[in-house]
Chain A
Amino acid sequence: MALENQTVGTGRVGRGIVGSVLIGRLGWTLISFLTLIALWALVAALLQSRLFPGPLEVGAKFASEAASGELAYHVGITLARVAVAFFLAMVIGCAIGIALGVAKGADQFFDTWLIFFLNLPALVTIILCYVWFGLTEVAAILAVAINKIPNVAVTVREGARSLSRDLDEMATIYRFGTWKTLRHVTIPQLAPFFAAAARGGLALVWKIVLVVELLGRPNGVGHQLHIAFQLFDVPMILAYAIAFILVVQIIEIGVLQPLEARVNRWRR
């Protein structure tokens, strides 16, 4: 049983309790959020500085940027870059992770490489990609993906190392074949590790994409922040930051959490 029972420390969501917990949590989130805004407004009123605008000023900027379509355009571009880089990093990282987890020899050989790439500062990868491939879209996305791949690989490798031999034998006896084994035995065991890699990965990709845009792209949230920085336009910086946080949260709550709950629905 020991092998079959293992779980990974990702968020577990039981079906029945979701409803009541959600309402309670939503209430608290709202209170906490409103307090933060009030505090912000208070500090801004006390400081009376052009460099520390209050919520109203930032809200107005947000509205005008949204109305002009600028906001949607740049957020959309950033989102697209995140999506492509994230997808690439997940596919390549998972493949590497599974290979290393299953093949001991390869793991021993490539472990040093992995540690090297894990510890390579994101900024170095970005600069080198731009230097070697020019200030292009490909270089930008490559830089983000390369930053992310080692993390995905390490997480998934952990899962592949702990694949249950018991279940594998069961699949052999009952002649599951490659495809059936992959679909019903292997991938479900790795799912929690995929989820952990995706979650940790998305948080990282968001941040790196902004830096990549700031350094070498003519559009996207990172580029807008760069412009705002040069003009010392703090309301604009905050307006984009808020838009950014909103989008990330919508994806987290609307996509990632339901997906995780679905993947984990068999757990006790």
Chain B
Amino acid sequence: MTRAEPAIRVSIEQKVFPAIADRPEHVVLAGVELTIERGSFVVLTGPSGCGKSTMLNIVAGLDTEYEGAVVFGEDTAKLAFMFQTPRLLPWRTVEENVALVLDDDTPNPTEKVAAILLRVGLSEAANAYPERLSLGMQRRAALARAFVIEPDILLMDEPFVSLDDPSADSLRALLIELWNRRPTTVLFVTHDRIEAVMLATRLIRLGGRPAHIVQDTGVDLSPDERLDREKVLAWRMRLFENA
């Protein structure tokens, strides 16, 4: 397996949701072809309800009812998924939640968990039950859980929605830090356009009915420029002018 091999090759000919109750059968995605290079940070945007989560679930293997194929660069690609809600086990402590995703034969699991909790700023809350924490802290725990397994591929579905601005900002900064420390192939869904430009090395927009890729651009901002709101906005404006 060479380094040049793409991390993920997505080819969705068609994804149809069958009719349920009062809703007729509908085609959500059609003709979605996407090749994702290793170590790239791909951000997927598009109008609400267009099929972003559906696509992410297909890539994750949670949804197998579609026509097409998803192929990973390695057969053993390790996947992590940060969902829109934290999806922590409420009856396990933060520490246990993170430790549980490690393989049973992981060396030094305790140290690993402690290290990642320190990194995300949850050392104090290691023994707390998730529901006693704020949403921001629960999200941090979910982020720690995603990174502790050192994934090859990290899927994220609007992981920072419904947070206040400071919490969302600090979580984004944390994500960038973790990603720089250990480059991972990321597929990140958001409808926040600023967030999209801040994080992406490649920006993909879904649109149309059924949805397909309507825009695919690289983002060539430097790490410093990404943290500057003005620069991010200016980049976005330029994108619109060119489109």
Contact = CB atoms under 8 A, between A and B. Distances in A.
A171 to B, nearest CB: 9
B12 interface: no
A66 interface: no
Interface string A47-87: 00000000000000000000000000000000000000000
A173 B60 contact: yes
Q: Which of A167, A185, A188, A266 has the most CB of B within 10 A?
A: A266
Interface in B60-111: 60-62, 79-81, 83, 85, 87-92, 100-101, 103
Contacts of B131: 5, 266-268
A182 to B, nearest CB: 13
Interface residues of A, number: 20
Contacts of B89: 167, 184-185, 188
Given A172-B62, A174-B80, A267-B131, A167 B91 contact: no
B92 A170 contact: no
A166 B87 contact: yes
B181 interface: no
Given A188-B91, A266-B129, A266-B131, A174 B149 contact: yes
A180 B62 contact: no
Contacts, number: 53
B3 interface: no
A173 B81 contact: yes
Contacts of A166: 83, 85, 87
Given A173-B60, A173-B80, A180 B100 contact: yes
Interface string B22-34: 0000000000000
Given A174-B100, A184-B92, A268-B131, A169 B85 contact: no
B100 A176 contact: yes
Contacts of A173: 60, 62, 79-81
Contacts of A5: 90, 131
B238 interface: no
A23 interface: no
A5 B89 CA distance: 10
A268 B132 contact: yes
Contacts of A174: 80, 100-101, 145, 149
Interface string A227-268: 000000000000000000000000000000000000000111
B195 to A, nearest CB: 21
Contacts of B132: 268
A267 B18 CA distance: 38
Nearest to B96: A184
A103 to B, nearest CB: 19
A59 B215 CA distance: 88
A184 B90 CA distance: 10
Contacts of A188: 89, 91-92
Contacts of B100: 174, 176, 180, 184
Interface string A212-228: 00000000000000000
A184 B102 CA distance: 14
Interface of A: 1, 4-5, 166-167, 169-170, 172-176, 180, 184-185, 188, 191, 266-268
Given A180-B100, A266-B90, A268-B129, 7 more contacts: A169-B81, A173-B62, A173-B80, A173-B81, A184-B89, A188-B89, A266-B131
